[in-house]
Structure 1
Amino acid sequence: MKATTTADPGARPVGKTADGATLRRLWSGEGNEFAGRNLALVGVLVILVIIGAVTRPDLYGDPEWVRNNAFTILQQASAIGVITVGMTFVIIGGGIDLSVGAIMALAGVWATTLATQSYGPGGMIFTAIAVGIGAGLVNGVLISYGKLVPFIATLAMMVAARGLAASISGKQTQISQSSVINDIATTKILGVPLLIIILALVVAAGWVLLNRTTFGRRTVAVGGNPEAARLAGINVKVQTLMLYGLSGLCCGIGAIMLTAQANSAQAAMANLYELDAIAAAIIGGTLLSGGRGTIIGALFGVLVFSTITNLFAINGLSTESQNMIKGGIIVAAVLIQQFRFGSLTKLFSRSDRAPAPAPH
């Protein structure tokens, strides 16, 4: 006797469901960091390299120059890449941080005072990280417990941190006398610059933290719907505080990297880095409204901007033109976000919707 099965009249066709879900995952990048959005950014990088090869064939025809230039781009992107990791967490969590550049300057200046340098490179690194975390936690307290809007709280921190850095340094450039700190910018391990290795480690740690821990899941939940997250048992205030502390930690690390590259620190260092970090996160797919974003996408965003800067430099083009193109990229990225998560989400939702049962 053969067994018989009865089809559920409300079930969705397997093929249609899989296709719709796959399209949605590929477009949003969910489940695969390199899907959809990130592949598009890789394509942009390839196009930029092709433009460089066409405009400067004399340089790109030299394999050794190409290799060294790739390392140069990555080294220039390293400090911004590190703070972009922290910025990505903050934005996914529903916030914004306009103070990262100023916190980097404050951490760098504080770490290069004569008193701090007397404790050696360990004391300088500890001071930079402690100042970064401390300033980040102040932001978090003002936002979580003071109920200030993130824009206002971090804007105030940006102004205050720059002012404090200028006061500490006397508006002078402070020279780093530590060879250990300065050598960070020139040291290579197995042929790879140490700055690039630090960036890779921070990105890897950020990816694991966001995608493989409860901290990451709570960050997404808080950014997506703070009230729902609170009802689910998440302490939204503590989570927000920790996010800004994490951003401050990245600022402290970035401050040491910048100090090593310049062998000095000053109140004007890392100027407008906050805009570069926000822009990189946005074009990497992080939603300004919170609740969605990827660390790898943000890294690709940093590399796109760094490659554009390098391309303009080797072609002797003006900084003004470079900034206009960057601005256009940011606007395009936001418009694409609105289209992707608006129209396409509705389209795929309709394609996956279960058909109504046939009338009897």
Structure 2
Amino acid sequence: MSESPPTTTQLPAQSPPVDPAETTEAAEHGAPAASGARLSWWHGDGGEGAKRNLALIGVLLALFAIGAATRSDLYANPDWVWANMLSILKLASVVGVVTVGMTFVIIGGGIDLSVGAIVALAGVWCTTVATQSFGAGGMIFTAIIVGVAVGLVNGVLIAYGRLVPFIATLAMLVAARGLAAEISQKQTQISENSVINGIASNSLLGIPLLVYILAAVVAGGWVLLNRTTFGRRTVAVGGNPEAARLAGIDVKRHTLLLYALSGLCCGIAAIMLTAQATSAQAAMANLYELDAIAAVIIGGTLLSGGRGTIVGSLLGVIIFATITNLFAINGLSTEAQNMVKGGIIVAAVLIQQVQFGTLSQFFRRNRLTTS
């Protein structure tokens, strides 16, 4: 009589681990475990970004309230308010596109001081007589290729030449401005292409085309950062390059791609700025690098890398554009405006240091060094 084989009990598929604290809290309140997970997300890293963005929206509402209080005669007109909002978005569009590329670079642990010079070089190059003879397509292609090429040079110097990003991009700032002045012979080059010029003057459904371009670049940057392997690798490289290398990420190649992406955004911005001014010159996009870095900091991106959001950077750009608009409608000086912007930047950095403990770490290291 043969023994029957023992019956095997089929085990259920393994489920992901559940935090007991979340389960207990959900049971006590009569809520499913999923709500506890959502609550945990709100208090985690994702929640920090959402809270910061809500705070930035609050700042925008406060600026709107200040404008309504100081110029009630203008804000009483709904048509003027709508036109003014479009004007702010149009003002923020070019810097906003540059800021998207800057956000990736800073999250990846670098910095790019040459973005304004790259915009100027791409703008001058695409408005030469020879380039304009190829039409709007040739001008757009040239601006993008020049921006990406200069970004690749930055990436090669930093990733493979092992230069400090601050030094490499500072040198590129000077070199690109000089090359732009050489190409243009220090003259303003007029854009005679109606298609390019129409980018700044035409609208679709009452909204300027520049705003649509900004929205498209921001949407693409958000998807790239939050929904792709490239974005996850960017955060990893910025947070801990050595750990990223040990995890199999080619840190040098990724750094090269980050600066190429920044150059791509500069090429797009060059076309937009050329369309606004219907011309290009070596001095265009002056101090855009400071505006972009300031917007990234205001948006919550850490200067040390490894953390940041595209939406936060966009809100930072809009806040600075709103401040500029607020000072303009009240007839205040540019000097006072710059002082206010400088104070906002300092406050944002101090908040970052206190929030993430970098200030306490600095003092701790200082005490150990002194001892």
* TM-score, scaled to structure 1: 0.89
Partner of 1:202: 217
Q: Which residue of 1 aligns with 2:230?
A: 215
Kindly provide the CA deviation profile for residues 200-219 of structure 1, in whole angstroms up to 9, marking residues without a partner as x.
00000000000000000000
TM-superposition CA deviations, 1:107-162 (whole Å, max 9, x none): 00000000110111110000000000000000000000000000000000000000
Do structure 1's residue 260 and structure 2's residue 298 form an aligned pair?
no
State the match for 2:55 in structure 1: 40
How far apart are the structure 1 equivalents of 2:263 and 2:123? 13
What is the deviation of 1:339?
A: 1.4
Residue type at the aligned position of 1:287? L
CA RMSD across the alignment: 2.3
Range 218-227 or range 337-346, more displaced: 337-346
Structure 2 portions without partners, runs of 5+: 1-18, 27-32, 362-371
1:30 aligned to which of 42, 46, 62? 46
Aligned match for 1:118, one of 115, 133, 136: 133
Instruction: Tell me: CA distance 1:259–1:28, structure 2 relative to 1, closer, same or farther (3 Å).
Output: farther
- 1:356 matched residue in structure 2: none
The structure with the largest alpha-carbon Rg is 2
Q: How many Å separate the matches in 2 of 1:336 and 1:119? A: 50
2:152 paired with 1:137: yes
The 5-angstrom pairing of residues 177-188 of structure 1 reads: 177-188=192-203
Report the CA distance between 1:190 and its aligned residue: 1.5
Q: Give distance in 2, aligned partners of 1:84 and 1:102.
A: 14
Q: Contact 2:99/2:296 (CA < 8 Å) preserved in 1?
A: yes
Task: State how far apart, in whole Å, the 1-side matches of 2:89 and 2:299 are.
Answer: 17
For 1:147-162, what aligned pairs fall within 5 Å after superposition? 147-162=162-177
| Residues 90, 61 of structure 1: alpha-carbon distance in 2 compared, 3 angstrom cutoff | same
Q: 1:249 is matched with which residue?
A: 264
Q: State which of 122, 125, 150 in structure 2 corresponds to 1:107.
A: 122
Query: Which one of 330, 349, 352 corresponds to residue 315 of structure 1?
Result: 330
- Could you tell me which residue of structure 2 aligns to residue 13 of structure 1? 21
Report the Cα offset of residue 333 of structure 1: 0.5
Query: 1-side partners of 2:181 and 2:358: how far apart?
Result: 48
Contact 2:121–2:282, Cα closer than 8 Å, also in 1: yes
Runs of 5+ consecutive residues of structure 1 not aligned to the other structure: 1-10, 347-360
1:191 maps to 206
Read off the aligned partner of 2:334 and give its amino acid letter: T
Residues 24 and 297 (structure 1 numbering): CA distance in 2 closer, same or farther, change over 3 Å? farther
- Determine whether 1:299 maps to 2:314: yes
CA contact (8 A) 1:125 1:256 kept: yes
* 1:338 Cα deviation after fit: 1.1
What is the rounded CA distance, in whole Å, between the counterparts of 1:256 and 1:214 in structure 2? 29
CA positional deviation for 1:278: 0.3
Describe the superposition over 1:303-354 as per-residue Cα deviations: whole angstroms up to 9, x where unpaired.
00000000000000000000000001001111111111129999xxxxxxxx
One-letter code aligned to 2:21: P
Preserved CA contact (<8 Å) 1:87 1:281 = yes
Aligned length: 335
Q: Which residue of 1 aligns with 2:349?
A: 334
Which residue pairs with 2:103 in the alignment? Answer: 88
What is aligned with 1:275?
290
- TM superposition shift of 1:191: 1.5
Deviations 1:288-309 (A, max 9, x none): 0000000000000000000000
- Post-superposition shift, 1:26? 4.3
Check if 1:76 corresponds to 2:91.
yes
How far apart, in 1, do the equivalents of 2:44 and 2:89 lie? 26
8 Å CA contact 1:82–1:202 kept in 2: the answer is yes
Distance 1:139 1:343, change over 3 A: closer
Q: What corresponds to 2:12 in structure 1?
A: none
Contact 2:353-2:359 within 8 A present in 1 as well: no
Change (3 A) 1:20 1:228: farther
> What is the aligned counterpart of 2:340 among 315, 325, 341?
325
> What is the aligned partner in structure 1 of residue 30 from structure 2?
none
CA distance in 2, matches of 1:177, 1:257: 14
Identity %: 74
